[in-house]
Chains A and B, each alone.
Chain A
Amino acid sequence: MSTFNRRRALGVLSLAAMLSMTFMATPASAQKKEVLGVAIPAATHSFTAGIVYWANEAKKELEKANPNLQVIVKTAANASEQANQLQDLVTVNKITSLVVFPFESAALTKPVAQVKAKGIYVTVVDRGLTDTSAQDAYVSGDNTAFGKIPAEYIAKALSGKGNIVALRGIPTTLDNERMDAFNAVLKNHPDIKLLDAKHANWNRDDAFKVTQDFLTRFKQIDAIWAADDDMAVGVLKAIEQAKRKDIKLVFGGAGAKGAIKTLIDGSNPLIQANVSYSPRFMYDAIKLTAEARLKDQKLPATTIIPSVLITKANAKDFYFPNSPF
């Protein structure tokens, strides 16, 4: 009973504190305390590790520059844990804005909508919600360009003629978007033949096996779209083992630091270009949201961080040796 009373008393007190804060805040909005919650997937592979790294970089930088801004970063191992964290961020941390990288689009739509219903400003990153009214702003990488740029580059490198194979990631909408964009470009190049495309789950070992089998199956391959820098590692090993000389080009993707380093050093003749899809867009999303909120502004409904072609010439701009990705 007494704990109940105490809790209620505390509740009333905090309510009073909040009220007084809002009253105090109203006349001088420059002094407004902004609490920005960041909900992202845990670092289970190098891309999400990059997401976590860049979220923390943004936190460090923004909190240093803005004393009245607090950034709280939460990482979740699955969708339901992330939904719980959203609740905690609202009830315990009393966030005023949220940047969320949803674990899954469909599963997180309702929980995010509930956050927004409490008047909290919501920016969604990368994976779009199924109901866009649950968000104030959307920041994303460019999956279409992720498929389009490699296709254009390969077509040009092969002078519009040749045999290629492709690897795909984990079956998801994101993977489909990339593959569709890739295929759309190939339509304009009828002499380029896509022999097959198989899922290797953004995994080095799976990519190694799939490539081995592609090499057994197809005697003449001119280029391989590995579609990811992790998968490219497995692809290159498989080519090396089979001692195949027919492959002229392996195109990865996302701009992992190892792959960018290879590009800068020119250490592998098969790696000539890459396409950016950096987890750095997490940093951009947090920074854009925080700066807009501190100035009481809104973000545009959709911000696409463009994916661009990386070649030896501009590779240095995409090399972040401290990031795990």
Chain B
Amino acid sequence: MPPELADSHVSPAARAAHLWGRLHGFGPVVGLLLLCLVGTLLNPDFATLDNTLNVLQRTAFIGIIAVGMCFVIISGGIDLSVGSMAALIAGCVIMVMNKAGAGMGAGPTVVALGMLVALLLGAVFGLIHGLLITKGRIEPFIVTLGTLGIFRAYLTYFADGGALTLDNALADLYSPVYYGSLLGVPFPVWMLVAVAIAGGFILNRTAYGRYVQAIGSNEQVARYAAVDVDRVKILTYMLLGLCVGIATLLYVPRLGSASPTTGLLWELEAIASVIVGGTALRGGAGSVAGTVVGAILLSVISNILNLTSIISVYLNAAVQGFVIIIVAFLQRGRR
């Protein structure tokens, strides 16, 4: 977060600049609102409750991962492996649940076990990343580029190139975690809200959150200020791993399967959400709320494209690209 200008005795020019600066901060929100307006004009079904919930529900995976990614990027790091990690965790969860289900019958304990495995694996993978980056002194780009290949290759190996599929009885038992809802709002959306609130709290209201921002803005100074830089960084990657675990435990019940195409390019979507949401790629400052807005914005684009057929289907990716650049332009000016 940029320091707030609290002084009320400023010149009109400074006030205008201040207002403009605040507007920039709202760039993603403005972009999202404009996009929603366009969507409603193109197809009235866009603004229905069902469609809104569909979009939010499918944003949940990327949104939750992006919140974790937000911390990593603010600390000056990057993680390219989240998509592959999600795929591998999904595969492992399915294998463990199928084994356990065969052993002790399909029951809620098996589902709980699967969820626990997802969280545990996420944290462990994050820990490995953190250790390699801090103690091993390898660039995060390289470490996670390496694990990107490793995670996906192992999933492909476990799946024998095909798909790992959850047993039917277990899939039925597990499916409410994705398809179920509370007060009319699906569980994944609640989870996204909870993760976002927790993330915002940790980033802005805890010492750890301050350390993350300090390290991203100047690692050397943070070290001099007696911040345990290595520990904070390792925790950041573990936090992201945990977020991937949460996203995966919501993903598995959706299709009940994991294949080598699971989570493909999620890393880029998560990183784009963070940056579109107003976080600087070089680290130091950023916003969890902006990140979530960024993630929603990305899925709204493809939603609108699916709801209309005004442009060639071959150009879908181009539209996504144009919108990302325009929104980034709207919220520039913080460097």
Contacts and interface: CB of A to CB of B under 8 A. Distances in A.
Contact of B306 (A198, A230, A233): A198
A49 B261 CA distance: 12
Contacts of B179: 241
Most-contacted residue by chain B among A202, A204, A208, A258 (CB, 10 A):
A204
Given A49-B162, A258-B165, A204 B43 contact: no
Contacts of A241: 179
Contacts of B156: 43-44
B259 A230 contact: yes
Interface in B256-314: 257, 259-262, 264, 302-303, 306-307, 309, 313-314
B161 A45 contact: yes
Main secondary structure on chain A at its contact with chain B?
helix
Contact of A203 (B50, B264, B307): B264
B54 A199 contact: no
Interface stretch (A90-98, A147-155, A213-221): A213-221
Contacts of A171: 313-314
Contacts, number: 91
B303 A234 contact: no
A212 B51 CA distance: 9
Given A46-B161, A49-B162, A209-B302, A217 B255 contact: no
B161 A213 contact: no
Contacts of A168: 313
Interface residues of A, number: 36
B255 A208 contact: yes
Interface string A221-257: 0000000001001100100010000000000000000
A219 B188 CA distance: 25
Contacts of A209: 58, 302-303, 306
B227 to A, nearest CB: 40
A324 interface: yes
A29 B309 CA distance: 62
Nearest to A325: B162
Nearest to B149: A77
**Closest 6 pairs between A and B when the two form their complex, measured CB to CB:** A49-B161, A43-B161, A213-B306, A324-B162, A46-B162, A324-B160
Interface of A: 43-46, 48-50, 52-53, 168, 171, 196-199, 201-205, 208-210, 212-214, 216-217, 230, 233-234, 237, 241, 258, 324-325
29 contacts: A44-B156, A46-B161, A46-B162, A46-B260, A49-B159, A52-B161, A53-B161, A196-B309, A199-B313, A202-B261, A204-B257, A204-B262, A205-B254, A209-B306, A212-B54, A212-B58, A216-B51, A216-B307, A217-B43, A217-B306, A217-B307, A230-B259, A230-B261, A233-B255, A233-B257, A234-B255, A258-B163, A324-B160, A324-B162
Given A46-B161, A204-B257, A213-B54, 18 more contacts: A43-B156, A45-B161, A197-B313, A202-B261, A204-B255, A204-B259, A205-B255, A208-B58, A208-B255, A209-B302, A209-B303, A213-B303, A216-B48, A217-B307, A230-B259, A233-B255, A241-B179, A324-B160
